Amino acid sequence: MLLLGGCAGSSSEPPVAGHAQSTTPATTSSTPALSPTPTAPNLDDPASWVIGFTSIGPLTVGSELSEAAQVMTSFTSTVYDGCPSVVAYGRTGFPTVLVPDRLGTGIVEQVVLQGGADAAGLSVNSPHTEAGIGIGSTLDELMAAYPAITYQDDALTPHYALPDDGANWINFSMSEGVVRDIVVRASPVVAKEYCG
């Protein structure tokens, strides 16, 4: 006599490959993945600022000078006697930041980071490019980071210039084998002086 059972029991056989058993239903998400939002520069930590082709930290070429004054609150601003077209932002232990307005337009034409006589000593507190180059970086470090950088044999201010894909440049002036000044602007030029 043959007996057939109408109840299904648990199987002691392992599942066959390609036939997975699932105990929880699959869920789908209707929320699209968010792309990361760029973080604003920390105004109180200038060493964390990034030097780009159009900006140094919160200072952007093409923005209004009044905006620069609003974001540079952790610095002391100075307008030199007889030179109202240049605002210098200073802070102990940090490179000086110049924002020249030689044309008197009220627009940031360029952003200049100056290391002065102690460029090597200011390297720890300097903003850096994404490749790690800042005030006090050596010529060897600059060349290793940017092998295609070009030397600009300007009689008044010889320097190295790095272009982006547009018309923007990061210019590096050297002194005694280290980066002394960094100029972000829309040309491969470093001015001999900023007043006038």
Q: Is residue 3 part of a domain?
A: no
Tokens describing residue 17: 């490959």
| Residues sharing a CB contact under 8 Å with residue 109, sequence separation 6 or more, in sequence order | 61, 100, 101, 102, 103, 185
pLDDT reading at 46 higher than 70? yes
8 or 60, greater pLDDT: 60
Q: Is residue 35 part of a domain?
A: no
Tokens describing residue 24: 């929880």
In the chain, the percentage of residues whose pLDDT exceeds 70 is: 79
Residue 173 neighbours by CB distance under 10 Å? 20
Q: Is residue 78 part of a domain?
A: yes
What tens digit of pLDDT does each residue of 95-110 get?
A: 999 999 888 899 999 9
Mean pLDDT of the residues in the chain: 83
Q: What is the mean pLDDT of residues 112-140?
A: 95
- Per-residue model confidence (pLDDT) at position 66: 92
Q: Is residue 110 part of a domain?
A: yes
Q: Is residue 160 part of a domain?
A: yes
pLDDT reading at 90 higher than 80? yes
Q: Is residue 181 part of a domain?
A: yes
Stated as kind and residue range, the H or E segment containing 170 is strand 169-175
pLDDT reading at 194 higher than 80? yes
- Per-residue model confidence (pLDDT) at position 45: 86
Q: Is residue 63 part of a domain?
A: yes
Q: How confident is the model at residue 82 (pLDDT cuts 50, 70, 90)?
A: confident
Domain that holds residue 63: 46-185
pLDDT reading at 13 higher than 70? no
Asked if residues 139 and 174 have their Cβ atoms less than 8 Å apart, the reply is yes
Structural domain count of the chain:
1
Asked if residues 134 and 52 have their Cβ atoms less than 8 Å apart, the reply is no
pLDDT reading at 175 higher than 60? yes
CA distance linking residue 174 with residue 24, whole number of Å: 65
